């Protein structure tokens, strides 16, 4: 029996298995050799940068080719409207579920912290940037100052706007735009080939990212916040079971087989805490599941910008947790007001890499109830929480793409069943 056959038999040839092993090895390395934290951080950061380098172009090619291939412009608008409604409904459910769970479990009530005693060192950037996350700046932020600038900054929302303008113009030109569309198609194939090479380093990236987190913050420093982490991980699992699973079942999509199908991507984002690191390969996998190219090209990038189920749960859970930690018991009306604020602020940070803490600061500042300085409490555990919320974001967007494709009659269910029967 060859070495490859042995690896396949024990599951080591599976990318998901390789990444899970790398994550476990990273945790062990973080505990045993914390002095190597910076080297491990380099591995994680390098992998994410390699992927992010091409994300903007891949979104552009996917959106442009998808929309230009649809002859009815009305269908494009219908898909986008349906997607935005779906995203808003599901993220609202995520916020409500998080608030219920965090109120029932009360992980912050045992802390009894005095807000005046909290150090705000290192918070200046978050507090300053939080003032820029508002509706007006969000609308202005949609339009880049230049086409090149959108790609240079790697801003998903701005790249999406540029792609939509280009795609609709190409669609209007019809056959005259055929040479440009052929170029876009070829460029897309080249980019996906490059990403295939980059993904060979995914286990190293996951190893480095999770290893740095463990080495940097350590179990001892995170112990007081362990309860919050356990509650939040349980909350993410509960969301999958009572929100995503019924949606999938209603649309006859086997959710747990889908989870296994995109297992390598979920393991990668668990280790790296970066959803962008799997966007290119997720596009390909959803198309192989039978989702129409145009729907994937529209829904998935839009979901990356607007549909953050896990991140919304993070905002809700952490906001109420911080209030509990400093002895503030928020009334039902105050929490409903907080929910309304989060429905706005969660969109305000869309497309801004690493914006969760900034948006959290904006949300807390807008309530006028929770001291902004309380954010210092969760800085150490934020990276651990993001390892749970980012996979939920990715799974939510993958499911949304399939659900909306089915609603449009653009999902090949034969392909779906064949691809998910391992």
Which of 132-136, 150-154, 216-220, 409-413 holds the top average pLDDT? 409-413
- What is the structure's pLDDT at 3? 43
Cα angle for residues 399, 385, 403 (degrees, 5° grid): 5
Contact by Cβ (8 Å): 330, 338 = yes
List, for residues 62-115, the tens digit of each pLDDT value: 778 777 666 555 677 788 889 889 998 999 999 999 999 999 988 877 776 666
Overall average pLDDT of the 15-42 stretch: 82
Q: Worst-scoring range by mean pLDDT, 93-97, 127-131, 226-230? A: 127-131
Q: What is the C-alpha separation between 299 and 306, in angstroms, rounded?
A: 10
Domains of the chain: 14-420 (1.10.3860.10)
- What is the structure's pLDDT at 94? 93
How would residue 379 be classed by pLDDT, with cut points 50, 70 and 90?
Answer: low
Overall average pLDDT of the 330-341 stretch: 82
Overall average pLDDT of the 377-390 stretch: 76
Overall average pLDDT of the 341-349 stretch: 64
How would residue 172 be classed by pLDDT, with cut points 50, 70 and 90?
Answer: confident
Distance (Å) of CA 130 to CA 135, 266, 306, 383: 12, 29, 18, 19
Please say if the pLDDT value at position 166 is more than 70: yes
pTM (two decimals) = 0.73
Q: What is the C-alpha separation between 256 and 237, in angstroms, rounded?
A: 12
Q: At what angle do helices 356-367 and 309-325 cross, to 10 degrees?
A: 50
- What is the structure's pLDDT at 218? 60
């Amino acid at each position: 029996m060859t070495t490859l056959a042995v690896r396949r038999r024990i599951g080591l040839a599976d990318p998901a298995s390789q990444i899970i092993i790398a994550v476990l090895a990273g945790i062990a390395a973080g505990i045993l050799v914390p002095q190597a934290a910076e080297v491990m951080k380099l591995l994680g950061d390098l992998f994410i940068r390699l992927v992010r380098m091409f994300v903007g172009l891949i979104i552009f090619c996917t959106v442009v080719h998808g929309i230009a291939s649809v002859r009815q412009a009305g269908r494009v608008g219908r898909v986008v409207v349906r997607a935005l409604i779906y995203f808003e409904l599901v993220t609202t459910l995520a916020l409500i579920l998080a608030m219920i769970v965090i109120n029932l479990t009360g992980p912050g009530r045992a802390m009894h912290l005095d807000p005046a005693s909290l150090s705000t060192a290192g918070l200046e950037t978050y507090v300053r940037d939080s003032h820029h996350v508002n509706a007006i700046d969000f609308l202005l932020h949609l339009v880049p100052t230049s086409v090149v600038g959108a790609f240079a900054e790697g801003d998903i929302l701005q790249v999406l706007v540029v792609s939509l303008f280009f795609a609709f113009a190409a669609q209007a030109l019809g056959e005259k735009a055929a040479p440009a569309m052929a170029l876009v198609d070829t460029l897309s194939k080249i980019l996906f080939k490059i990403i295939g090479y980059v993904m060979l380093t995914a286990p190293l990236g996951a190893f480095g990212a999770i290893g740095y987190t463990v080495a940097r913050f350590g179990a001892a420093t995170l112990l007081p916040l362990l309860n919050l982490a356990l509650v939040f991980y349980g909350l993410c699992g509960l969301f999958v079971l009572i929100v995503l699973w019924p949606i999938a079942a209603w649309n006859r999509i086997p959710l747990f087989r889908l989870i296994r199908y995109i297992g390598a991507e979920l393991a990668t984002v668990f280790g790296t805490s970066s959803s962008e690191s799997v966007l290119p390969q997720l596009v390909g996998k959803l198309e192989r599941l039978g989702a129409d190219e145009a729907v994937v090209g529209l829904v998935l990038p839009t979901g990356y910008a607007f549909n953050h189920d896990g991140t919304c749960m993070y905002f809700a859970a952490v906001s109420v947790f911080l209030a509990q930690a400093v002895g503030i018991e928020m009334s039902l009306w105050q929490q409903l007001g907080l929910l309304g604020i989060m429905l706005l602020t969660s969109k305000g940070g869309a497309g801004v890499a690493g914006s969760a803490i900034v948006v959290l600061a904006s949300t807390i500042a807008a309530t006028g109830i929770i001291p902004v300085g309380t954010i210092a409490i969760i800085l150490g555990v934020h990276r651990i929480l993001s390892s749970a919320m980012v996979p939920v974001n990715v799974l939510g967007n993958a499911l949304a793409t399939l659900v909306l494709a089915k609603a449009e009659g653009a999902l090949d269910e034969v392909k779906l069943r064949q691809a998910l029967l391992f």
